[in-house]
């Protein structure tokens, strides 16, 4: 197994491993360690069946269902993340950490590319630990005591789900989820602090009026995705991206209108942010 960094801020490609053959305990531990170090890891040329994809995910954590979209046939924990040729909005097409509106947001998420456009459709990732560490000590001290409010109903991201809910939505009436989490999260495995706000889901700060919280949040939303905190992944068929949702954000670039892009996604169970 070889691990190669792809950017200064975060991200590494892992090669010389065949997930379809299954992982030894040592290989699984090495991949998990790479995730903790690099926050997002990539494995190309992995033509996995849904069961093999789920088996790999189970070596990294506990797969769980996504709240709004039903899974593919026979695999409720695997959803299709897709944009069709006639669609103009891509699913989750905004900077975000996954489902921070849940009381226990996911530990991580995985995407496996099934169909990719001839160009475009890359995904950006941003290191939230670096973003926090780049702040002044005064700003860090201010943020350390604050609690953010996340909602699943924030308009900009809700619109990115509309096509998929129409085609693949769960039969139950869509719920609105709201949760409160610290603006600065301590990683439960590494102990590093990182920003835990995102423009897609964070709607306010507990104990502050909108007028008070909005300027602070707008500053953080701009700061946390500066180019020096990011990496970019160009998809190829049968590639996997696996990111640590506790310390990295992502943003799928919507620059391939007229072409089809289909991914399979698995979400892994997390814990309450502290």
Give the distance, in angstroms, between the CA of residue 144 and the centroid of all CA atoms in the same chain.
23
Q: Answer left, alpha or beta for residue 138, where phi above 0 means left and psi between -120 and 50 means alpha.
A: alpha
User: Which residue matches tokens 């507990």?
Assistant: 206
Nearest to 95 by CA among 226, 185, 199: 199
How many CB atoms lie under 10 A from the CB of residue 10? Answer: 25
3-state secondary structure 60-126: HCCEECCCCECCECCECCEEEEEECCCCCCCCCCCCECCCCCCCCCCCEEEEEEEECCCCCCCEEEE
Instruction: State the catalytic residues.
Output: 96, 98, 250, 265
């Amino acid at each position: 197994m070889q691990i190669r960094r792809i950017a200064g801020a975060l991200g590494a490609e892992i090669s010389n491993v065949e997930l379809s053959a299954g992982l030894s305990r040592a290989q699984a531990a090495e991949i998990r360690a790479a995730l903790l170090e690099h926050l997002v890891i990539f494995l190309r040329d992995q033509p996995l069946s849904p069961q093999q994809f789920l088996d790999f995910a189970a070596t990294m954590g506990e797969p769980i269902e996504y709240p709004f979209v039903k899974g593919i046939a026979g695999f409720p924990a695997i959803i299709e993340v897709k944009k069709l040729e006639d669609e103009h909005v891509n699913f989750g097409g905004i900077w975000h950490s996954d489902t921070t509106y849940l009381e226990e947001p996911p530990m991580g998420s995985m995407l496996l590319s099934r169909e990719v456009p001839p160009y475009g459709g890359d995904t950006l990732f941003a290191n939230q630990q670096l973003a926090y560490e780049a702040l002044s000590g005064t700003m860090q001290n201010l943020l350390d005591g604050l609690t953010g409010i996340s909602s699943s109903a924030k308009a900009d991201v809700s619109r990115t789900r509309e096509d998929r809910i129409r085609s693949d939505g769960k039969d139950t009436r869509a719920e609105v989820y709201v949760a409160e989490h610290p603006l600065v999260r301590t990683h439960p495995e590494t102990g590093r602090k990182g920003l835990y706000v995102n423009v897609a889901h964070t709607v306010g700060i507990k104990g502050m009026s909108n007028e008070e919280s909005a300027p602070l949040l707008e500053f953080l939303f701009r700061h946390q995705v500066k180019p020096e905190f990011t990496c970019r992944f160009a998809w190829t068929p049968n590639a996997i991206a696996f990111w640590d949702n506790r310390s990295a954000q992502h943003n799928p670039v919507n620059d391939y209108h007229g072409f089809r892009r289909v991914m399979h996604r698995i979400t892994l169970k997390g814990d309450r942010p502290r």
